[in-house]
Amino acid sequence: MRILLIGQAAFGAKVLEMLLEKGENVIGVYTPQDKPGGRPDPLKELAASNNIPVFQPSTYKDDQVFNEYKAMTPDLTVMAFVTDIIPERYFDVPTHGTINYHPSILPRHRGASAINWAVIMGDSRTGLSIFWPDGGIDTGPILLQKEIDIGPEDTTGALYFNQLFPMGVDAVLESIALIKEGKAPKITQNEAGATYEPPCDDSVAGIDWNKPAEELYNLVRGCDPQPGAFVMYQEEKLRFYGSRFIEKSSDKVPGTILSIDDQGIHTAISGGELIISKVKLGQGKKIAAGEFASEQGLKAGDLLGS
């Protein structure tokens, strides 16, 4: 089977690695354009080291790019972590169609930040979908799905790297096997359960200390590691990472520092205590919260951020 791979980063590279290990015929790889001064994409590097043609179009809307893609006569296109907009006409070129990895149980959490929103919105379970893209935003028929629990201390990063990344690679390989066997289903998504959320960026990552404890804690976990939930401190964004929540009563104003120890900065929130283990101020490096507090002269009773 002649496979084209569209993807990027560590996930795309791991999918390619496993395809090659299984002896699959990968005829080409598409990745985003290089960023000036940035590190080469690992998918691009792996493809080049295996003498696989690499394509990096600035846009997929160009007819020349499409005709070049079509001329490769793929049997299957695999989309593994794709952020570029791929026009619908590309999906029908391969004789067996196109499949796409998405880290949620579709149709819930369509969009670019599916894992973040599953945590932010307090879901107890999430997972992944391999689906047949149809030109909409994560709207195509489902090939297969896998589910996992979201633990009370799971962050977006933990869910992705510990579970949805390796499970996703395996799911892509399983899907290809089903396609080869002629057993790959196309299950229409139930629009009644569909949700779509915008990218999880600083427009949603700001902390309001007056929010209920669970809602605030979910935001911090859901924005960890990116973009990092934040408060304003000395006119810069102070971002929180590696936080824990303790349910307890307190008569302190939310946002007030209760104590500082080797666990981090203990902060009062409505209905509990938020322990912040690491922080990042502005463009600085991520450091231990206790170290930051010492450097800034913070102490119990101070209000953390504005």
pLDDT, tens digit, 9 for 90 and up, residues 99-158: 999 999 999 999 999 999 999 999 999 999 999 999 999 999 999 999 999 999 999 999
Distance from the Cα of residue 247 to its chain's centroid:
28
Residue 33's pLDDT is 95
For 269-291, write each residue's pLDDT tens digit: 998 999 999 999 999 999 999 99
Rounded to 5 degrees, φ, ψ at 3 are: -110, 130
For 55-105, write each residue's pLDDT tens digit: 999 999 999 999 999 999 999 999 999 999 999 999 999 999 999 999 999
For 7-34, write each residue's pLDDT tens digit: 999 999 999 999 999 999 999 999 999 9
Helices (H), 121-212: 156-159, 165-180
Integer CA distances (angstroms), 102 to 66, 129, 233, in order? 24, 5, 36
For 31-59, write each residue's pLDDT tens digit: 999 988 889 999 999 999 999 999 999 99
Walk me through the domains of the chain, giving residue ranges and CATH numbers: 2-193 (3.40.50.170), 213-296 (3.10.25.10)
Estimate the share of the chain in helix, then strand, then coil, as percent rounded to the nearest 5: 30, 25, 45
Nearest-angstrom CA–CA distance, 153 and 158: 9
**Buried-state track 178-205, b at ≥16 Cβ within 10 A, e below 16:** bbeeeebeeeebeeeeeeebeebeeebb
- C-alpha R_g of the chain: 22
| Nearest CA among 265, 247, 263, 248 for reference residue 301 | 265
For 204-213, write each residue's pLDDT tens digit: 999 999 999 9
Q: Which residues pair with 206 in a beta bridge?
A: 230
Burial of 125 (0-12, 13-18, 19+ CB in 10 A): exposed
Rounded to 5 degrees, φ, ψ at 285 are: -85, 160
**Global confidence as pTM:** 0.96
| Stretch 295-301: mean pLDDT | 96
Amino acid at 169: V
* Three-class SS state of 65: helix
Q: What are the tokens at 165?
A: 């990344």
| Mean pLDDT of the chain, nearest integer | 97
233: confidence class by pLDDT, cuts 50, 70, 90: very high
